[in-house]
A and B are shown apart, each in its own frame.
Chain A
């Protein structure tokens, strides 16, 4: 499968636990974006990463959330001490170039995070 791969597809956590969401971009894509979709809402940008660098994290909450895209391996979105309000669908997208090059992003099928 040459598409954007996200895992797990579903993740259940109890309040206070940590959630780790993984994203492997399409082959040849070095730009990764994370979005969050709350029920009945559109996709909200969280963070933009390029291999080993965070380019823009303006949409990510300042506390408890972090993201990385190491030289080897998938991009990770990490949520520490989860709360009920973190329940959402988290989507990863990738592209071969940045947004300024006017190319579409390609999305994975998302991780549905449920907090008990």
Chain B
């Protein structure tokens, strides 16, 4: 039962353009959402998060948008840089739970 879904396994973007990574969830109890970045042979690194009381959170080049009615969140990276090339995972949790639920990841390639 995949409660967090990333339907695009891969994405290629030109350097300097915007990268948009999408994530959908099914559990309406989720109230905290995160994005992690993962390089090969390394663990996921926390990137940015958002709680359900907000619809946008920005940190430098990274912005996360949350649409609760659509159960959808997205990560915008602008401008994209070659060093952003990695696998991006979205994750979600509920206050009543003990775990984060992860999507299957989107592999982003930023072309110089």
Contacts and interface: CB of A to CB of B under 8 A. Distances in A.
A and B: real partners? Answer: yes
B89 A56 contact: no
Contacts, number: 65
A101 B46 CA distance: 16
A55 B98 contact: yes
B104 A42 contact: yes
Contacts of B79: none
Interface in A1-59: 4, 6, 33, 35, 40-45, 48, 55-56, 58-59
A42 B89 contact: yes
Chain B: interface size category = 20 to 34
Contact of B99 (A42, A56, A102, A107): A56
Given A91-B44, A104-B49, A42 B102 contact: yes
Given A42-B102, A104-B49, A99 B97 contact: yes
Nearest to A92: B43
B95 A100 contact: yes
B23 to A, nearest CB: 11
Which A-B residue pairs are the 9 nearest by beta carbons? A107-B43, A56-B98, A45-B99, A42-B102, A42-B104, A104-B46, A43-B102, A102-B32, A109-B43
26 contacts: A4-B43, A6-B43, A33-B100, A40-B104, A41-B104, A42-B4, A42-B6, A42-B102, A43-B44, A44-B102, A45-B100, A45-B101, A48-B99, A56-B99, A91-B43, A99-B95, A100-B93, A100-B97, A100-B98, A104-B34, A104-B49, A105-B100, A107-B36, A108-B43, A110-B42, A110-B43
Interface of B: 4, 6, 31-32, 34, 36, 41-46, 49, 51, 89, 93, 95-105
